[in-house]
Amino acid sequence: MHSTTSESPAPEPPSAPGPAEPPSGAAGPAPGDAHSPLPATAEQALKIAVVGGFGAGKTTLVRSVSEIRPLSTEETMTRAGDGIDVTDGVEAKHATTVAFDFGRITLDATSVLYVFGAPGQERFWFLWDRLFSGALGAVVLVDTRRLEDSFYAIDRLEAQGTPFVVAHNDFGDTEHTLDQVRAALDLDPAVPLVRCDARVRASAKQVLIALVRHVRSLVGGGAR
């Protein structure tokens, strides 16, 4: 359930939030409450990073899945970006993330998932290191109209050995099969590729579930 009034307590983590630090959350009702305060019992914080090219839908995905009002750092795009932030294919885009998006999902009484969305443009890539630090894994969101924009994210995750899944954000593109997308991305067969609609909570959630399953399979199948 989306909330517009909730406040996000303590663990504001721009600087290297680790998955190990327990959020010192405000006491509150159980998850699922309209305001979704962090339960006092929360002790395990997990972090997922959402990356991908400019305009792939990262901010939208974080907004869709977050139970709290997400921290968003979208700024209106200015004319200074003409020729740099190219919106071919995403002409309706008028705002862009300049720091990161931050959302939260309470999984159960003890586990909380933090979702960080990265900015897509090259000038903000220096921020990615911090966003990746302590992350369980990453989601690479791709838009088939601008597939090449996701190469950097995939290369970087492969190089640093961060587990990830690729999610094809379906902007009504029905002509490309997932196999075609996989081939175009030259994606390792071991990396899961799913289709999603980042605007739809249930769909965005499936992407996170795919990632968690993938991470679990990497750490030895049955591990909890």
Partner 1 sequence: MDLDKLTWLLEGLLERTPGTRHALVLSRDGLKLCHSAGLRADSADHLAAIAAGVQSLAHSASVEFGDGAGGVRQAMAEFYGGLLFIVEAGHGAHLAVITSEEAEPGLVGHNMNELVEQMGEYLSTPVRAATGTA
> From CA 107, how far away is CA 110, in angstroms rounded?
8
Closest contact distance (angstroms) between CB of 114 and partner 1 is: 16
By beta-carbon proximity to partner 1, the closer residue of 90 and 191 is 90
Closest contact distance (angstroms) between CB of 3 and partner 1 is: 14
Quote the DSSP letter at residue 38. P
Q: Is 84 in the site for partner 1 (CB under 8 A)?
A: yes
Encode burial over 124-155: b for 16+ CB neighbours within 10 A, e otherwise.
beebbebbbebbbbbbbbbbbebbebbebbbe
Closest contact distance (angstroms) between CB of 73 and partner 1 is: 4
Binding mask 53-82 for partner 1 (x = CB under 8 A): ------------------xxxxxxxxxxxx
Q: Which stretch binds partner 1 (CB under 8 A): 46-54, 60-68, 91-99, 136-144?
A: 91-99
Residues 6+ apart with CB under 8 A from 41: 109, 110
Quote the DSSP letter at residue 191. S
Parallel, antiparallel, or unpaired: how do β-strands 95-97 and 74-76 relate? antiparallel
Please tell me the count of residues contacting partner 1 according to CB under 8 A: 31
Binding mask 92-121 for partner 1 (x = CB under 8 A): xxx-x-xxx------------------x-x
Beta bridge partners of 51: 140
Q: Which helix (H) or strand (E) holds 162?
A: none
SS3 labels along 4-26: CCCCCCCCCCCCCCCCCCCCCCC
Q: Which stretch binds partner 1 (CB under 8 A): 50-58, 87-95, 157-165, 182-190?
A: 87-95
Q: Is 127 in the site for partner 1 (CB under 8 A)?
A: yes
Q: Which stretch binds partner 1 (CB under 8 A): 27-35, 55-63, 86-94, 165-173?
A: 86-94
